[in-house]
Structure 1
């Protein structure tokens, strides 16, 4: 029987060698498991984690920082907004960083200007972070900062000089194509697009996905409308589109803009989806409970954050190793009540069955 060496046996602080003895593995194996390193069998990982739990073992992060030269912390530069997409991505990052055994430090920017981003990065570096995540969506040009730790860009191209730069998209291009294809598959001759602000990378990716879907089907590309992510901007676009009898389908680059757009269409006497179909973007679960429930494409915030943090931690902990290939992110179309075939196609269907 394995002797007790943890808190129940009167030992105030169990050590890693105690975990190794209880688990029946080497101290190196314990270190690999607790540092979340690859190439550890599931059986060894299970035994080590169970032994650590049994003993009440807690890693000494200060000692590990001195030994490894790392502080076990990751910094995030994020746009200071409560918007659903930005907030959801930050929640996903926080969860992934915590699960990887790191502390999280966040610095928000106000308006996305390069000087603000540079200041945010410098603040994080002064705190001794081991890596930086940039989920800031409005970087314009290259930021004049040299970073000596790995940097992960989520949903935006690299803008800093760093020894190790990683990029993971959130699938906006593919999701925009899926939204547009859904409307074309229903029989709409073309799809109008209400884009987000032009300086946002997320807006540009969605516009490119929309255009690619139209081009692949030989559909005419209508005039592009631009909003600012708010329901109010969607409402203004909806008033403009409602005056055009040829409009039968609209893809909005954000769920909140889609809601404002639907409100304006209904005020103008244009029914959704009977007269005009509307697809949103983001997958905010609240909009499953409006009338009509909103068809949308759901951004894989959690999957993108976990994939990005996986690569970033690999770059931090094995600086000389090649990065593993990035996993493919899911594309999820959530079809609800705001989309249907266009009126002329429904009329032909009814006539052909009578």
Structure 2
């Protein structure tokens, strides 16, 4: 049974109406200074906490922002922290729904809709543009980290292909001609980065070398082992995301390859945040 103190308990302790208690706790005008003092004292003594869910149900606006994130992605945690800071500033609460081995994207989004969030912030979703447009017809949607060509969907994203292009130009200017790319998997962002790599390499007249990977350290470790075992090692490596880059670096260290350093090769390990 729920033994939490209720609004009625505070009112009974002070000897005033529940309406007066509600006004005091909401900071609204009406009750006298003495009544406010007694109500706040009684609420503290009883350990009363307002039922936020019930309060939100009573209002037309719930002031809830739903955020979809991958619990395995450290960069998503950084983004959520900034989202929470800004939500606090404007008086909103944040509801998190995470992607895990047993909680896929459809189920995570459905959970946010069940909470009747006023808007959804989706960090790197894999849903099709059409599916996102249908979702945006129900509630405002902001996609963070990937391109979506739908007018109803707001998008915040880095220029992934331009970033890869700039990194490759830097490596080429340093004299690197064998530059491998550790792929980030089948996601939309990874696809954009892979395309940027191939385009830049073709423009420079250099051969491409795409190594399978994903967005985990284990995937990067496997890719690094493949590279370390090749007879013609690349002189530079671009990893599609940070976690994969860490795995590649781990594999190179275990293989006795100094990064960065000169052990027959100069290896530059460059990473881009996976969003």
Which TM-score band applies after superposition, normalised by the shorter structure?
Answer: 0.5 to 0.7
| 3-state DSSP of counterpart to 2:143 | strand
1:108 matched to 2:108? The reply is no
Aligned to 2:223: 237
Match of 2:249 among 262, 282, 299: 262
Name the CA distance, whole Å, in 2 between partners of 1:95 and 1:112. 29
CA shift in 2, pair 1:176/1:96, >3 Å = farther
Aligned to 2:214: 228
Deviation at 1:188, TM superposition (A): 0.6
CA shift in 2, pair 1:221/1:90, >3 Å = farther
Tell me if the contact between 1:112 and 1:137 (Cα under 8 Å) persists in the aligned partners. Answer: no
CA shift in 2, pair 1:215/1:89, >3 Å = farther
Deviation at 1:157, TM superposition (A): 4.1
Aligned to 1:213: 200
CA shift in 2, pair 1:110/1:238, >3 Å = closer
1:95 matched to 2:85? The reply is yes
Give per-residue Cα distances to partners, 1:96-141, cap 9 Å, x unaligned.
Answer: 322332111112233599xx43333333233222111111433357
Name the CA distance, whole Å, in 2 between partners of 1:263 and 1:110. 25
Matches within 5 A, 1:286-301: none
Deviation at 1:213, TM superposition (A): 2.9
Deviation at 1:253, TM superposition (A): 1.5
Aligned to 1:165: 153
| 3-state DSSP of counterpart to 2:82 | helix
Name the CA distance, whole Å, in 2 between partners of 1:178 and 1:99. 36
CA shift in 2, pair 1:70/1:112, >3 Å = same
Residue segments in structure 1 that go unaligned for 5+ positions in a row:
1-10, 17-59, 283-297, 302-354
Q: TM-score if structure 2 supplies the norm length? A: 0.66
1:276 matched to 2:262? The reply is no
Name the CA distance, whole Å, in 2 between partners of 1:75 and 1:168. 16
1:191 matched to 2:179? The reply is yes
Tell me if the contact between 1:190 and 1:219 (Cα under 8 Å) persists in the aligned partners. Answer: no
| 3-state DSSP of counterpart to 2:109 | helix
Name the CA distance, whole Å, in 2 between partners of 1:170 and 1:94. 21
Name the CA distance, whole Å, in 2 between partners of 1:266 and 1:148. 50
Name the CA distance, whole Å, in 2 between partners of 1:267 and 1:257. 16
CA shift in 2, pair 1:106/1:189, >3 Å = same
Deviation at 1:14, TM superposition (A): 5.3
Match of 2:68 among 77, 81, 84: 77
Name the CA distance, whole Å, in 1 between partners of 2:82 and 2:172. 32
Name the CA distance, whole Å, in 2 between partners of 1:76 and 1:165. 15
Deviation at 1:183, TM superposition (A): 1.4
Give per-residue Cα distances to partners, 1:272-300, cap 9 Å, x unaligned.
Answer: 33213232324xxxxxxxxxxxxxxx68x
| 3-state DSSP of counterpart to 1:277 | coil
Name the CA distance, whole Å, in 2 between partners of 1:158 and 1:167. 7
Match of 1:151 among 118, 141, 144: 141
**Larger relative contact order (Cα-Cα within 8 Å, sequence gap ≥ 6):** 1
Give per-residue Cα distances to partners, 1:282-331, cap 9 Å, x unaligned.
Answer: 4xxxxxxxxxxxxxxx68x8xxxxxxxxxxxxxxxxxxxxxxxxxxxxxx
Give per-residue Cα distances to partners, 1:126-167, cap 9 Å, x unaligned.
Answer: 3222111111433357438554221111123449x9x94211
Name the CA distance, whole Å, in 2 between partners of 1:265 and 1:172. 26
CA shift in 2, pair 1:279/1:102, >3 Å = same
Tell me if the contact between 2:227 and 2:233 (Cα under 8 Å) persists in the aligned partners. Answer: no
Deviation at 1:239, TM superposition (A): 2.7
